[in-house]
Structure 1
């Protein structure tokens, strides 16, 4: 090997010799990063708990499969098998993607119960009986929450996000969540009234399934939009003085 090459000094414009170091400098790394600089983990929202928009849409797949299979084949057993198989595929697909387990299992259980009712009644319309009565129950619960001044949309939202229930003291915020909860009352009430009437009518075998699909995701999307508006109204209220109820205001002292 030859002798190491001598490094020649370089000269800047003012004539001062400067020796350039050829060693590359590594970027400075903070050995002790400040834990306060780390981003805070985001609490899962109610929509996240339900699997997001794909989870909501996927939950309606077994119903669509049952309705289409019944319309094409006209065989109750074949329609039940197709609906349950599609529910299994949806649950497996969501689990393979690492999504929440609870919505997938809940959806599978719901389809299994609907299929059992249809098999026991021996009629295709029995597949929709559980959904009809659960709509009545859900609508009643949401309406009761508004009556007792604890609108369920606000309660669920702040409970999931770990924000407590102090929002109920803000009149404007509670009114916004009242409107959102009443929107869900209208959705569930409309589903029950229309589908219950169809269930007892001569149009049950022809129209009940298609009406169930039409009143599913589209109506839920409208109520969800009202819910989003209420949540944004709640966020904006944090930047302004709260309008509390008269019973929550401190009593003024009588001037002496």
Structure 2
């Protein structure tokens, strides 16, 4: 995506001066980046369906081991499916490890609720990280999406409109995840495993979709990212061209000197 000079970024809160084609390009790039960063539809399946399998089987037979192993087996199958699609290792293994920790914790403790505890702690920690990073002026979502957009950290020093968008989006993610934790942890302490499982499944996809949607809204209204990778490549080409010109001038001068 073409970069925009510093003046435009400092005085623009959204792609107001862009053409319809450029706006469509920004929307498409934002959608692709969000899908890549958060795992897309399969990512939602990986974070929801193994937990659903666990709670369904446990509701029927109240056996922690068979429920946990079934959930883990499904997670492994989904991970293999990602590898078969040549997806990133991050997405392929993150779901497997999360389910494996939960299954191991539940079987070792003999408490079915502990199957969900590692994921709940991760959600709580991530929510806190989003809020703290937004307060610190270094929003976590910018660190996650910056490399995907090929802008790296240019959004923080050269593109204040995108810094504001990343800050708003990080607040959204943080508050939504903390609200989710505020519902789940009381159930973990005072509810039973079946109640906790069904509520956790119900809170799997909707908060995620809301967070992604709000992120998309904030980013499509922000200035376009500065493609620092393209800038570095252009600078390298310019250095190479300058070196070639210098060599040509030197060769011409030597030829002229030889004639004299």
Give your verdict on TM over 0.5. Answer: yes
**Residue 55 in 1 paired to residue 43 in 2?**
yes
Instruction: Show the 5 A alignment for 1:96-175.
Output: 96-169=84-157, 170-175=159-164
Q: Counterparts of 2:225 and 2:147 in 1: how far apart (Å)?
A: 18
Instruction: Show the 5 A alignment for 1:7-18.
Output: none
**Residue 193 in 1 paired to residue 182 in 2?**
yes
Q: TM-score, normalised by structure 2?
A: 0.69
Which residue number corresponds to residue 7 of structure 1? none
Shift of 1:46: 4.6
- Asked whether the equivalents of residues 132 and 191 of structure 1 are also in contact (C-alpha less than 8 Å), the reply is no
Structure 2 residue ranges without an equivalent (≥5): 1-28, 227-260
Shift of 1:172: 3.8
| 1:33-81 superposed Cα distances (whole Å, 9 cap, x missing partner) | xxxxxxxxx9972521443222332332211111111112221111011
- Asked whether the equivalents of residues 37 and 145 of structure 2 are also in contact (C-alpha less than 8 Å), the reply is no
Shift of 1:181: 0.7
Question: Which among 167, 170, 173 is matched to residue 178 of structure 1?
Answer: 167
Question: Which among 63, 75, 78 is matched to residue 63 of structure 2?
Answer: 75
Structure possessing the higher relative contact order (Cα contacts under 8 Å, 6 or more residues apart):
2
Going from structure 1 to structure 2, the CA distance change for 1:233 and 1:182 (only over 3 Å counts) comes to same
Shift of 1:103: 1.1
Q: Counterparts of 2:225 and 2:65 in 1: how far apart (Å)?
A: 54
Q: Counterparts of 1:164 and 1:177 in 2: how far apart (Å)?
A: 13
Q: TM-score, normalised by structure 1?
A: 0.70
- Asked whether the equivalents of residues 54 and 67 of structure 2 are also in contact (C-alpha less than 8 Å), the reply is yes
Q: Counterparts of 1:81 and 1:171 in 2: how far apart (Å)?
A: 48
Q: Counterparts of 2:38 and 2:225 in 1: how far apart (Å)?
A: 26
- Asked whether the equivalents of residues 116 and 197 of structure 2 are also in contact (C-alpha less than 8 Å), the reply is yes
Going from structure 1 to structure 2, the CA distance change for 1:116 and 1:161 (only over 3 Å counts) comes to same
Aligned residues: 196
Shift of 1:100: 2.4
Q: Counterparts of 1:149 and 1:140 in 2: how far apart (Å)?
A: 14
Q: Counterparts of 1:99 and 1:166 in 2: how far apart (Å)?
A: 27
Which residue number corresponds to residue 45 of structure 1? 33
Shift of 1:236: 5.5
Q: Counterparts of 1:87 and 1:140 in 2: how far apart (Å)?
A: 27
Structure 1 residue ranges without an equivalent (≥5): 1-41, 239-256
Give the alignment's Cα RMSD to 1 decimal: 2.2
| 1:223-255 superposed Cα distances (whole Å, 9 cap, x missing partner) | 1001111221224598xxxxxxxxxxxxxxxxx
- Asked whether the equivalents of residues 51 and 99 of structure 1 are also in contact (C-alpha less than 8 Å), the reply is no
Shift of 1:171: 4.1
- Relative to its length, the structure with more helix (as a share) is 2
SS of residue paired to 2:138: coil
| 1:121-147 superposed Cα distances (whole Å, 9 cap, x missing partner) | 101101011112112211111111111
